[in-house]
């Protein structure tokens, strides 16, 4: 029996060549540009375009207008810097605030919060304010036309300097601010029992506002908001007590949870019969004077004080007799 040699091998070679050709054709089709560059800023794209480079951040975007693409690049730089800083921040674990997640989770939460809320949220970070297009070290753009639809888009890229020295400085700067904001809320939380005046309530709330707006993580933000809310409740605990101070005179004092406090705002005074009503500071108290000449003996004669408090009014009425 004669055995024919070589034909199966030749057949396998043909199959292999066919598959290889089909693969090459598919590769060419797969990687063929779907657009045509109709205009560009330079004859040749710079070396850094769409590549990573030590000491620089390269950001690119493609949109319907060049200005929008440029701004998207700037936002991308901000995001990348936030990410770089967040990855190196040592988040403090306060004894006051019981953190429920690890450092890695807090980094993710930090980045997500700032990226999601964009420039409005990120503006509270001091190192973000200095990022601008004026610092760009290089730029490149292309005007592209989609081969199928004919749609025009602009691809824009920028090269932004971000050396390691600046990176470390930003991390240090952020950690200092983070610590300062947390220390502020701790201080205000402890100070609430030492409030000495009505006006100080709003002053403390105003002082805490930057920290409330700053905290990116839910745990500390809720903590700060809770401290602010406790201050807002303080006026509900304010009471007024007074006593006669001789003819046509009355001394009134304000208390918060039994502790005497002062106020710079004098109360509004009304009476059923007295005239020449006047309220003046008298040390930590308030001296009320009036003229009772027109008041009758057989009537319930009174003077009513109305104090304007943050979020409420406090009324105090005292009666006096005419002889």
Q: What does the pLDDT look like over 62-117, one tens digit per residue?
A: 999 999 999 999 888 888 887 777 665 544 444 333 333 344 555 555 555 555 54
C-alpha distance from residue 249 to each of 96, 171, 246, 319 (Å): 48, 62, 6, 11
Indicate the residue among 149, 173, 197 that finishes a domain: 173
Q: Which of 2, 160, 9 has the alpha carbon at shortest distance from 79?
A: 160
- Angle, alpha carbons 230-236-239 (nearest 5°): 130
* 78 in Cβ contact with 122 (< 8 Å): yes
The reply to whether 155 and 200 lie within a common domain is no
Q: What does the pLDDT look like over 11-59, one tens digit per residue?
A: 433 434 333 433 344 433 334 578 899 899 998 989 888 777 788 999 9
Residue 63 lies in a domain: yes
The reply to whether 167 and 190 lie within a common domain is no
Q: How many domains does the chain have?
A: 3
Compute the distance between CA of residue 10 and CA of residue 4 in angstroms, rounded to an integer: 12
The reply to whether 61 and 84 lie within a common domain is yes
Query: What is the extent of the structural domain holding 203?
Result: 179-235
Decide: pTM greater than 0.85. no
The reply to whether 268 and 210 lie within a common domain is no
Indicate the residue among 121, 151, 173 that finishes a domain: 173
The reply to whether 265 and 288 lie within a common domain is yes
Dihedral sign computed on CA atoms, order 99, 102, 107, 108: negative
Helix (H) or strand (E) holding 183: helix 164-191
Q: What does the pLDDT look like over 229-288, one tens digit per residue?
A: 999 999 999 999 999 999 999 999 999 999 999 999 999 999 999 999 999 999 999 999
Residue 1 lies in a domain: no
The reply to whether 230 and 257 lie within a common domain is no
């Amino acid at each position: 029996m004669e055995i024919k040699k070589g034909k199966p091998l030749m057949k396998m070679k043909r199959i292999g060549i066919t598959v290889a050709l089909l693969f090459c054709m598919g590769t060419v089709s797969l990687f063929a540009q779907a657009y045509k560059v109709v205009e560009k800023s330079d004859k040749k794209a710079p070396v850094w375009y769409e590549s990573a480079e030590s000491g620089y951040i390269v950001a690119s975007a493609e949109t319907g207008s060049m200005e929008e693409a440029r701004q998207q690049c700037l936002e991308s730089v901000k995001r990348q810097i936030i990410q770089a800083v967040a990855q190196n921040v040592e988040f403090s674990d306060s004894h006051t605030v019981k953190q429920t997640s690890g450092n890695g989770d807090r980094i993710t939460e930090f980045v997500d919060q700032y990226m999601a809320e964009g420039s409005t949220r990120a503006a509270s970070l001091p190192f973000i304010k200095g990022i601008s297009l004026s610092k760009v070290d290089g730029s490149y753009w292309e005007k592209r036309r989609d081969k199928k639809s004919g749609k025009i888009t602009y691809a824009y890229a920028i090269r932004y300097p971000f050396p390691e020295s600046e990176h470390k400085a930003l991390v240090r700067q952020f950690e200092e601010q983070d610590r300062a904001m947390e220390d502020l809320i701790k201080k205000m939380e402890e100070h609430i029992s030492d409030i000495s005046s009505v006006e100080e309530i709003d002053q403390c709330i105003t002082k805490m506002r930057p920290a409330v707006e700053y905290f990116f993580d839910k745990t500390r933000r809720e903590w700060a908001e809770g401290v602010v809310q406790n201050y807002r409740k303080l006026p509900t605990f304010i009471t007024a007590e007074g006593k006669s101070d001789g003819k046509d005179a009355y001394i009134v004092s304000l208390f918060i949870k039994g502790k005497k406090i002062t106020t710079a705002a004098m109360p509004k005074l009304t009476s059923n019969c007295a005239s020449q009503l006047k309220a003046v500071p008298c040390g930590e108290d308030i001296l009320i004077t009036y003229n009772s000449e027109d008041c009758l003996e057989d009537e319930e004669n009174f003077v009513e004080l109305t104090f304007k408090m943050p979020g409420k009014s406090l009324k105090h009425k005292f009666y006096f007799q005419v002889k």
